Chains A and B, each alone.
Chain A
């Protein structure tokens, strides 16, 4: 069965960095785009970033452009989110999500999420 397991969350001071990872299994990872979606406490879902199946293209929400970098290693079935210059407003649960090709940007599988708290 498909599994997505996020790791790397924690408490960090504003301006510092954190790297999230998502380990995938149960499907052909190199066939699918991958996304990061976040949810601030008590708030709705916010799409953060995506990377194409082969890593050739990435897109980001405006609020993280220049600060966050999404990457993937298809040999290790992992997708990562490098978060630099963190802000208090980046505090959220971060989910990785699978986006199969031809799914119409549908996230068929989600991880359990990892909490990132940015606080001084």
Chain B
């Protein structure tokens, strides 16, 4: 059971917009910034969004992040087959004094 809650799966067709949610609490998302990672099959995770809504250089603007209260979301627009991957949210937790990840959402491009 992960501290941050994500739906285990999501899907969409090419060109669609998909949203992946991450639910936390006042000790993590409610007071800390959220980061999102993309993990392609068989590879190490890659930072996709940091500080809730900031894209590192090289990340396409099809990817966007947002946060409200104790929940955060990752939106992917113009879905492509290459976007098929696992997506994880993460935030520091002040109560646990550690970093917590969501359980991950497996995105399938139909």
User: Considering only CB atoms and an 8 Å cut-off, how many residues of chain B contact the other chain?
Assistant: 27
| Distance A59 CA – B97 CA, assembled complex (angstroms) | 7
Q: Does A44 contact B (CB under 8 A)?
A: yes
Interface residues of B in 77-110 (CB under 8 A from A): 86, 88, 90-92, 96-104
Over the window 29-67 of chain B, the binary record of Cβ atoms lying under 8 Å from chain A Cβ atoms (1 yes, 0 no) is 000110101010000111100110000100000000000
- Which residues of chain A (39-73) have a CB below 8 Å from chain B? 44-47, 50, 59-62
B2 within 8 A of A: yes
- Chain B residues proximal to chain A, CB less than 8 Å: 2, 32-33, 35, 37, 39, 44-47, 50-51, 56, 86, 88, 90-92, 96-104
- Pairs across A and B, CB under 8 Å, 6 listed: A46-B101, A104-B33, A105-B32, A106-B35, A107-B45, A112-B44
Binding site for B on A (CB under 8 A): 35, 37, 44-47, 50, 59-62, 95, 103-108, 110-113
